[in-house]
Amino acid sequence: MKNVVITIARHFGSGGKTVGKMLSEDLGIGFYEHEIIEMASEDSGIAEELFNQADEKLKRTPLFFGKAHGEYKGKLIAPGSDEFVSDHNLFNYQAKIIRELAQRESCVIIGRAADYVLKDYDNVVSVFVHASRKYCVEQAVERRAYVGKDVEKFVERTDKYRSDFYRYYTGQEWTDARNYDLCLNSERLGFEGTMEAIEEYIKVRFGGLPGTKK
């Protein structure tokens, strides 16, 4: 069968990344998260630090970015331009890597607004994994995802950043169910059940599973 790409957006603490890793291992397909920045840096020749700085700037100035309503157009800016290392061009290079992955192999891609970048690809399953704030905080504590007293505030800030990132680069709302094929509550299904629900959807839609598992 042709390549199948699973994009996963997720509330912090909902286990979306864990589910993505489980899918990758169960299906025998690639898993990409921070690797996308590394690959975009290598492809563009732009220092990886600048990609990370763009993310940090968004975290520090959420009101400015939240109002920007930029929309990904896909066109890369030439190296000679003053805008070559602009936030949008850094995102464009990440999007280029995401598109190349979708064309080349079956894989799981976490975050980076990959669902939007690949919205016109017919081999993509876009998933949003969510759970209640209470559950996400409990998971963050249990998995030591954050060490400190204000875990709930950290979870809230992280989700705010992800929402702002999505809105800034796509002009769309991160939690809008219309952006995804599946919206799954990991608190209700559990991580294993969430993975199985995604696999069942893939089997119904594509008539089988990608990778080594058939």
What's the confidence (pLDDT) of residue 57?
76
pLDDT means over runs of 10, the chain (214 residues): 93 97 98 96 94 81 52 72 84 96 97 96 98 95 77 92 91 96 98 98 96 72
What's the confidence (pLDDT) of residue 69?
47
Alpha-carbon gap, residue 99 to 97, rounded angstroms: 5
What's the confidence (pLDDT) of residue 53?
87
pTM, 2 dp? 0.91
Q: Is 74 left (phi over 0), alpha (psi -120 to 50) or beta?
A: left
Q: Partners of 32 in the beta sheet?
A: 109
> For residue 186, how many C-alpha atoms fall within 13 Å in the half-sphere facing its CB?
27
Strands of the chain, DSSP E: 5-10, 30-32, 107-110, 124-130, 182-185
> Which is nearest to 168 in space by CA: 28, 71, 82, 100?
71
CA torsion 27-33-34-37 (nearest 10°) is 110
Degrees, nearest 5: CA angle 84-85-90:
100
Collapsing DSSP states into helix, strand and coil, what is residue 4? coil
Q: Using only the alpha carbons of the chain, give its radius of gyration.
A: 17
Q: Is 69 left (phi over 0), alpha (psi -120 to 50) or beta?
A: left
What's the confidence (pLDDT) of residue 36?
97
